[in-house]
Amino acid sequence: MGEHETPTGPVKRRLGVMGGTFDPIHHGHLVAASEVASLFHLDEVVFVPTGEPWQKSQRAVSPAEDRYLMTVIATASNPQFSVSRIDIDRGGPTYTIDTLRDLKALNDDADLFFITGADALAQILTWRNAEELFSLAHFIGVTRPGHVLTDDGLPEGGVSLVEVPALAISSTDCRARVAEGDPVWYLVPDGVVRYIDKRELYRGA
């Protein structure tokens, strides 16, 4: 029996999935992913920027390429973190059911762990094919300041709730700060501050 096998077969890789619009990515996202990776012994966390986030259609979302590049910049220094273009390249509105089906097909040696903040978890029953989501991945809901973390109404055993270091940061607040000319240093990674400046993002937000 090889090093990566058990009496019942090969040990599966544990792949975390952090989906988000990341407009921009901030330290709240990064701390949540890092903490869950440690608590759940994940081998890797793949960040998946949305293509078209259909539940955010009430506001203009920045171009997918800018959100993708900011996510790459923010995660580049962590060997456990990677970024996937699958939701961007699929085109059309992004549904997590497609994200998970595609990631399963690409990683048939892995168990998937989908990471969501308390606010996103509270909306999950409004997502497309909500019931099927839980057969494709284990969901991990993380605490987020200003939101109640609960698994009410969600399938038993399908969700774990965990406390992560509280960072009261949101992309909405980061965009508003840039629009007002206020700093976002230390709310987002340094390279993301520079990228926002270079591309003149959020100036008129």
Ligand X SMILES: O=C(O)c1ccc[n+]([C@@H]2O[C@H](COP(=O)([O-])O)[C@@H](O)[C@H]2O)c1
Q: Which residues of the chain form contacts with ligand X (CB under 6 A)? A: 19-21, 50, 53, 55-56, 94-97, 120, 127-128
Residue where the block lists tokens 């793949």? 46
Is 94 one of the binding residues for ligand ATP (CB under 6 A)? no
Looking at the chain, how many residues does it have? Answer: 205
Q: At what angle are helices 64-75 and 27-39 packed, to 10 degrees?
A: 50
Angstrom distance (rounded) from CA 111 to CA 126: 24
Binding of ligand ATP at residue 17 (CB under 6 A)? no
Binding range to ligand ATP, per CB under 6 A, among 90-98, 130-138, 165-173, 196-204: 165-173
Residue 172 interaction partner, one of ligand ATP, ligand X, none, beta carbon < 5-8 Å per kind: ligand ATP
Does position 103 bind ligand ATP by CB under 6 A?
A: no
- Spell out the residues 6+ positions from residue 47 whose beta carbon is closer than 8 angstroms to its own: 18, 19, 20, 22, 25, 29, 33, 71, 75, 81, 82, 83, 84
Size of the site for ligand ATP (CB under 6 A): 18
20 touching ligand ATP, by CB under 6 A: yes
| Closest by Cα among 55, 29, 51, 25 to 164 | 29
Contact positions vs ligand ATP (CB under 6 A): 20-23, 28-29, 32, 116-117, 119-120, 142, 144, 167, 169-172
